[in-house]
Amino acid sequence: MKRPIEKIKVKGRFLGVFVLIIIQFLVGFIHIFLGSILLLGIYSSPIVLSSTPQMVYSLYTLIYGILVAIFTYLFWKEKRIGWIGTAAISIFIIIVDILAIFDLLNFLSIPKMAGLGEIPYSLFVLFYLFEDHIRLQYKIEF
């Protein structure tokens, strides 16, 4: 009889969840920092102030960072909405980055090169979130 493999846990959470949370917090705080810096740069320069694409991208980056940080915190607290929010953000990023790469509906002024890193990372996050033991932990059923 084959014994099931026990999942490694850190602070009562699966190791993968623990690592994902650390990375997601980093992603969130980096985007909050960059979005804030970009916004400050826009408002400090009268030439760039009239540039709507830069302002839209700065706000998008800041809001994205805040949402990632909030949903990551909720995910850490093992709230179902944390799982749902993290999955929704990952799906949104994949769609928006694909549209940006092909110059379709790039209203957020996302650089094409951003998708090269964000799409694989978001796919990795989604694949992990949809693992059976993770969905079970967060009471996600299909």
For each of the chain's 142 residues, which pLDDT tens digit applies?
Answer: 555 555 677 767 788 899 999 999 999 999 999 999 988 886 665 555 556 778 888 899 999 999 999 999 999 999 999 999 999 999 999 999 999 999 887 777 888 888 899 999 999 999 999 999 899 999 999 8
Q: Is residue 3 part of a domain?
A: no
- Helices and strands, counts by H and E, the chain: 6, 2
Q: Is residue 52 part of a domain?
A: yes
Cα separation, 75 vs 80, whole angstroms:
7
Q: Which pLDDT belongs to residue 2?
A: 58
- Quote the domain boundaries for residue 36: 12-137
Backbone angles phi, psi at 90, to 5 degrees: -65, -45
Q: Is residue 54 part of a domain?
A: yes
Whole-prediction pTM value? Answer: 0.85
- Work out how many domains the chain is built from and give that number: 1
In the chain, what's the furthest Cα-to-Cα distance?
72
Q: Is residue 142 part of a domain?
A: no
Q: Is residue 19 part of a domain?
A: yes
Q: Is residue 5 part of a domain?
A: no
Q: Which pLDDT belongs to residue 105?
A: 74
Q: Is residue 44 part of a domain?
A: yes
CA separation (Å) from 121 to 9, 19, 20, 34?
23, 13, 11, 19
Q: Is residue 2 part of a domain?
A: no
